[in-house]
Structure 1
Amino acid sequence: MLLLLLVPAWAWAQTPAALEQADAAWNQLRLHGDAKALAPLLADDWLLTHSDGRVQHKADYLQELATRQRRNTRIDNEDVQVRLHGDTAVITGTSVQAAVSDGKPWQGRFRFTRVWLLRDGQWQMLASHSSRLAETAP
């Protein structure tokens, strides 16, 4: 016998699976350069701290994606941990990335921290920070 449970959208949004889906969308939308679809995932006051210490605001980041000044070609996450604290969540992990920024290719491994907030039944990212990991010798 199949038992179906109806879960209200607001309750489902509070599950780790919903948050993991939002975080995965963050990576996929960056890979595809879809700034329009990415915009609602980011809070209006979202802030990105790059691994070189540079700080970027939502509008600047989305414009960079939309104009293809930045084209991500690889984003693979490892060791991801999700910690929920009420309507706030912190996601940490390691990201292996490759991209082209202003015509210059780059790649690397980064430790990341992302802070998410549940607003009106949807997860929105408030901040993202990454630190480049030192390359290990073969």
Structure 2
Amino acid sequence: MKNLKLIAVLIVTIIFSNCSENKNSSNDEQEIRNLISLYDEAAMKNDIGFYETNLAPDYQIATSEGSFENKKSSLQFMKQELENPSYKLISLKSDSVQVHFIGNAAVVSGKWLSTTQALKDSNPVMHNDEGRYTSILEKRDGKWMMVSEHVSDKPHNKTEIEASLKAASESYDKGLMTKDKALFSDLFADDYASTGREGKLTNKEDEINQMMSSDVVFLTSNTDDKNFRIYRNTAVETGKFSSTGTYKGKPFSETGRYTTTWIYRDGKWKIVADHTSPMPDSK
């Protein structure tokens, strides 16, 4: 009889313990889900203080670009974006969030969805992006802290991304005739490099100065036989160009081939490299 009573007490204790653990687990899960929502809100508000408080001192993140950042470098990047933003964040939210516990740690996985808008764009277009993330949080001194993250992007919609690339290419053609310095300053990446007909290499500043020079006057400028190949956030454009005009008062007529390398950065296409080769009959 005593053994039966002891067994009954043990069963009640186990049941009570399991119920208590389930209750704590449920509370922790809700706390973590709320925290994930607060992370999204902090990103929308540029609330760097939130990240300073909730990222663990040993925090690390593997970004979609393949870089590996710690807390210090992550906060520094956020401050730079706050002072000199490269894009406008319209919306950000997490979806399909899953939480799994391993002792005092939690593994959170989910989908992120964002809408951004490029800055310094005469015709700003909304860009919808999405991807996956995995986060590891650890409960330290009774508080859940973000310890590690990994973020990946879903490839952009091919039709949309190709349309925006073609539009950027057409803006280059128009800007050449109108000598639109502001357009080229925005269209060329800061690390832009151009290889000319004689093998001369020029950077962004030099190239724009040459294009804006009063020595060069374009009467006509056309491109055709364009071909675009897109590799995630990088693209290669090849085509044929023909132009007429004057250089230091002397007429010229030129036909050639070109190769342009584009990169999709901060919600817009930018040119990182150009190579032109005149055809034999050019003068």
Category of TM-score, reference length = shorter chain: 0.7 to 0.9
Aligned partner of 2:207 in structure 1 is 61
Change (3 A) 1:127 1:102: farther
Q: Distance in 1 between matches of 2:247 and 2:193?
A: 19
Q: Distance in 2 between matches of 1:75 and 1:19?
A: 19
> Which range is displaced more, 69-78 or 35-44?
69-78
| Residues 173 and 223, structure 2, Cα contact 8 Å, conserved in 1 | no
Aligned partner of 1:119 in structure 2 is 265
Q: Give the one of 47, 50, 53 matched to 2:196.
A: 50
User: What RMSD in Å do the two structures reach over aligned CA positions?
Assistant: 2.1
Q: Distance in 1 between matches of 2:245 and 2:194?
A: 16
Which letter maps to 1:99? G
Per-residue CA shift, 1:34-92, capped at 9, x if unaligned?
11222100001111111222222111122233342323222211211000000000000
Q: Distance in 1 between matches of 2:254 and 2:160?
A: 32
Aligned partner of 1:129 in structure 2 is 275
- Size of the aligned set, in residue pairs, is 129
Change (3 A) 1:115 1:14: farther
Establish whether residue 10 from structure 1 lines up as the match of residue 137 from structure 2.
no
Point out the structure with the larger helix share. Answer: 2
Aligned partner of 1:73 in structure 2 is 219
Change (3 A) 1:53 1:98: farther
Change (3 A) 1:90 1:50: same
Q: Distance in 2 between matches of 1:93 and 1:32?
A: 21
Aligned partner of 2:168 in structure 1 is 22
Change (3 A) 1:102 1:50: farther
Larger Rg: 2
Aligned partner of 1:85 in structure 2 is 231
Q: Distance in 1 between matches of 2:224 and 2:211?
A: 24
Q: Give the one of 37, 41, 60 matched to 2:183.
A: 37
Shift of 1:123: 0.3
Q: Distance in 2 between matches of 1:69 and 1:36?
A: 19
What TM-score results when the alignment is normalised by the length of structure 1? 0.82
Identity, in percent, stands at: 25
Shift of 1:14: 5.2
Structure 2 residues without counterparts, runs of 5 or longer: 1-114, 116-125, 129-156
